[in-house]
Amino acid sequence: MTQTVERMLPLYEAKMIHQYDHRWATYEPDGTVRDVTLVEKQDPSFVALPRYWVREEVVQDRLPGTGKDWMLGYRWISNATNERTLIAAKFPRTGTGNSLPIFAEHDDGDLVVAAMSSFVCDYVARQKLGGQNVTFGTVYQLAIPGVEKFLEPSPWAPSLPIATWIRARLHSLDNWPIPDRRYQVKAELDAAFFHLFGIAREDVDYIMDTFPIVKRKDEAAFGSYRTKELILEVFDAMQAAIEAGVPYASSFDNPGSRPTEKDETF
């Protein structure tokens, strides 16, 4: 027997993450896996339980000493015909399986993950993917704006750097607002990235139609392609603001215009 107390860290698997979500799924004591509920996600103390655990010293030995508590990773297994091709997330510094490769953490890692989670970046990835494996070679070919781009003023909100505008919304998503508000924030992020990539409106319309599973689920839940409609609505409002030289009027930045929980449905 040893008198040394070993600290074990969870071994994260790809199925445990999703876009803007490091608590997508959790294991039960009997070994089954289930989706994390909305109530659990809105509890900041809730943590997803893994199937396996790894000794802390093993993790420390394998990972570079960045001094950060978080790292970035993405799902290795995918398909160009899936609902979404790229699934990347920021999650606690811990052990990961080979289905969840990680890449070096840096100060702008949250912006990288936000870009990878956008529909426009996903569309590019679909053109590069030749099988089920999202290899490092595929990731290296992704169209992600350079760090210097994020430091520029937002075309639709000139008083704010692009990074500041994006991070405010990422923080909101981390705090799990009521579902409809989360849906709106994600639409604003997607519309922003379409603008950053210089995509014309008719091409935004076309790109969104290349995600048939997203469309089918929206039509089943809402009776229309709600995701596309919201993104185009925000995209148009941003374009109008850019042309007029005024800030884009976002309900996110104006709490008084936000719908109440009673008014929102999902």
Mean pLDDT over residues 185-212, rounded?
97
* pLDDT, position 264: 31
Q: How confident is the model at residue 51 (pLDDT cuts 50, 70, 90)?
A: very high
Sorted by sequence, the CB contacts under 8 Å of residue 31 that are 6+ apart come out as 51
Is the Cβ–Cβ distance between 187 and 230 less than 8 Å? yes
Mean pLDDT over residues 193-200, rounded?
96
Residues 241-262 have pLDDT tens digits of 999 999 998 877 764 444 333 3
Tell me if the pTM is above 0.85.
yes
Residues 73-107 have pLDDT tens digits of 999 999 878 899 999 999 988 899 899 998 766 67
* pLDDT, position 222: 94
Among 5-9, 27-31, 36-40, 179-183, which is the least confidently predicted range?
5-9
Is the Cβ–Cβ distance between 14 and 100 less than 8 Å? yes
Q: Of how many residues is the chain composed?
A: 266
Residues 216-228 have pLDDT tens digits of 999 999 999 999 9
How far apart are alpha carbons 256 and 52 in whole angstroms? 46
Check residue 260 and report its DSSP letter.
P
Please provide residue 62's backbone torsions phi and psi, each rounded to the nearest 5 degrees. Answer: -90, -30
* Choice between 264 and 9, residue whose per-residue pLDDT is larger: 9
Q: How confident is the model at residue 1 (pLDDT cuts 50, 70, 90)?
A: very low
* pLDDT, position 237: 97
Beta pairing partners, 21: 18
Q: Is 40 helix (H, G, I), strand (E, B) or coil?
A: helix
Domains of the chain, CATH where assigned: 9-144 (3.90.220), 146-266 (no CATH)
Highest mean pLDDT among 31-40, 65-74, 99-108: 31-40
